[in-house]
Amino acid sequence: MKKIVCVIGTRPEAIKMAPVILALKKETWVKPVLIATAQHRQMLDQVLKLFNIVPDYDLNAMTPNQTLPTLTAKLLVQLDEIFSSISPDAVLAQGDTTTVMATALASFYRKLPFGHIEAGLRTGDLMNPFPEEANRVITGHLARWHFAPTMSSLNNLLREGISRDNVYVTGNTVIDSLLDVAKREIESSIDVPIGKRLILLTSHRRENFGGPFQEICKAIRFIADSYSDVHILYPVHPNPNIKEIAYRELSDHERISLCEPLEYGPFISIMKRAYIILSDSGGVQEEAPALGKPVLVLRSETERPEAVEEGVVRLVGPIRDNIIKEVSTLLEDKGAYGAMARGVSPYGDGKASSRIVDILKYSLI
Ligand code: UD1
Ligand code: UDP
């Protein structure tokens, strides 16, 4: 029986790894071992509960307002201890967080083959997004299997000299989870006024901390002031660099609701109800097009160009005037809205996890 360690740390990793873990559990040739670093605590636990997944190891790493070096150092040491004691046949992690980069490095130090899920995303700018682009590059050069979601991510890896033999285009596992959870039709208990057009906002990126996030807040207030038939819902990320400013700048407006991060099921139901989505999230850029919702991305670049090329996602930057202009166009121009509100799914077909499991089986037995 082979032993594959799956490492997850944050909310999006849990959402995107859950279908892989569940698919591995159904196989007779492998025993998946789950390590939760708990780089996120509450937001990770929300997802584990939804998918009924219990970690075999929980490093309980999160501390309030943690720093990148402290977290990285802690995870490297703790992962190495577990790898040394259980000697897995392979290690898997997903995405571009500190957990993923530390897992790839800890695997490399123990000479364990590492599989990178959602491989090959790049902006080409090491500082943007920070520190995720560097995490992807480091992780990509340590991986044995690169599970790329799209052809464009495959091509990014080939340009960096990664061997074609080690890259597999599988689709993104986020669509596996989205389809699974969307069909469960879990309703949100969040109270948003009926009869208003709902704008859903999420924002948490480190490169937007400070001035850029203030700009986003000013644009949001302006939109709420200008359109009485609109309501804005913002489930606020618990990072103190975001939460404190969000509540200070936005909590007193009658057409803006702030709430805690929503569980994944209710969040999908709110995405379905939304008229427009404003976000700097990676996962939301992948999910919303599949639900036919226009997304304005609060960043100046994206590592997910496919939906932008389809015309259903648009980059507006954390720039007040751009955000206001593009939201106004979508609210006032039905043609412009219809062109962006098309259901397309460039990131997957819901079968990425089974492809990944088949490739691992072929390689390992
Ligand atoms: C992290 C990832 C980012 C990813 C995001 C998803 C890194 C460097 N950043 O950013 O790539 O897009 O997760 O959401 O890996 N906190 C809580 N409870 C939680 C989660 C976070 O209180 O459940 C607070 C804590 O104070 C914590 C802080 O948020 O110290 C920052 O968490 P961290 O994981 O370091 O950064 P994120 O901004 O969440
Ligand atoms: N999400 C959620 N509840 C929320 C906001 C987002 O479940 O209140 C989900 C969202 O559907 C997506 C994932 O969390 O699957 C994205 O996480 P996040 O934006 O924190 O990270 P990123 O994708 O930018 O790394």
Among protein residues, the one whose CA lies closest to atom 15 of ligand 1: 97
Which ligand 1 atom lies nearest to the CA of residue 100?
15
Length of the chain in terms of residues written: 365
Helix axes 173-184, 264-273, angle to 10 degrees: 80
Which ligand 2 atom lies nearest to the CA of residue 47?
7
Kind plus residue range of the DSSP H or E element containing 90: strand 90-94
pLDDT at residue 227 greater than cutoff 90: yes
Give the model confidence (pLDDT) of 228-269 as tens digits.
999 999 999 999 999 999 999 999 999 999 999 999 999 999
For residue 43 and ligand 1, the question of a CB distance below 6 A is answered with: yes
| pLDDT band for position 219 (cuts 50, 70, 90) | very high
Catalytically active residues, by annotation: 96, 118, 132, 204, 206, 237
- List Cβ neighbours of 146 (8 Å cut-off, separation of 6 or more): 116, 119, 120, 140, 157, 162, 166, 167, 168
pLDDT at residue 33 greater than cutoff 90: yes
* HSE (side-chain half, CA atoms, 13 Å) at 329: 16
Let me know: does 291 contact 343? Beta carbons within 8 Å: yes
For residue 41 and ligand 1, the question of a CB distance below 6 A is answered with: yes
Q: Give the pLDDT confidence score for residue 201 in this predicted structure.
A: 98
Span from the CA of 285 to the centroid of ligand 1 (angstroms): 18
Which ligand 2 atom lies nearest to the CA of residue 16?
15
For residue 38 and ligand 1, the question of a CB distance below 6 A is answered with: no
Q: Give the pLDDT confidence score for residue 157 in this predicted structure.
A: 98
SS3 247: helix
Mean pLDDT, rounded, for 43-65: 98
Cα separation of 95 and 121, whole Å?
Answer: 9
Q: Give the pLDDT confidence score for residue 38 in this predicted structure.
A: 98
Tokens of 315: 């980059």
Among protein residues, the one whose CA lies closest to atom 29 of ligand 1: 239
SS3 255: coil
Among protein residues, the one whose CA lies closest to atom 37 of ligand 1: 239
Span from the CA of 193 to the centroid of ligand 1 (angstroms): 30
For residue 97 and ligand 1, the question of a CB distance below 6 A is answered with: yes
Among protein residues, the one whose CA lies closest to atom 14 of ligand 2: 12
Q: Give the pLDDT confidence score for residue 309 in this predicted structure.
A: 97
For residue 204 and ligand 1, the question of a CB distance below 6 A is answered with: yes
| pLDDT band for position 190 (cuts 50, 70, 90) | confident
Mean pLDDT, rounded, for 354-363: 98
Which ligand 1 atom lies nearest to the CA of residue 242?
38
pLDDT at residue 146 greater than cutoff 90: yes
Tokens of 165: 């033999």
Span from the CA of 111 to the centroid of ligand 2 (angstroms): 32
Handedness of CA 24, 110, 36, 348 (dihedral sign): negative
Cα separation of 228 and 254, whole Å?
Answer: 10
Q: Give the pLDDT confidence score for residue 187 in this predicted structure.
A: 84
Give the model confidence (pLDDT) of 106-118 as tens digits.
999 999 999 999 9
Whether the predicted model's global pTM rises above the 0.95 cut:
yes
- How would you class 206 by CB atoms within 10 Å of its CB: exposed for 0-12, middle for 13-18, buried for 19 or more? middle
Q: Give the pLDDT confidence score for residue 188 in this predicted structure.
A: 83
Q: Give the pLDDT confidence score for residue 147 in this predicted structure.
A: 98
| pLDDT band for position 126 (cuts 50, 70, 90) | very high
Span from the CA of 212 to the centroid of ligand 2 (angstroms): 20
Q: Give the pLDDT confidence score for residue 186 in this predicted structure.
A: 87
pLDDT at residue 192 greater than cutoff 90: no
- What are 93's strand-pairing partners? 116
Give the model confidence (pLDDT) of 290-348 as tens digits.
999 999 999 999 999 999 999 999 999 999 999 999 999 999 999 999 999 999 999 99
CA angle 186, 187, 190 (to 5 degrees): 140
Q: How many CB atoms lie within 10 A of CB 118?
A: 31
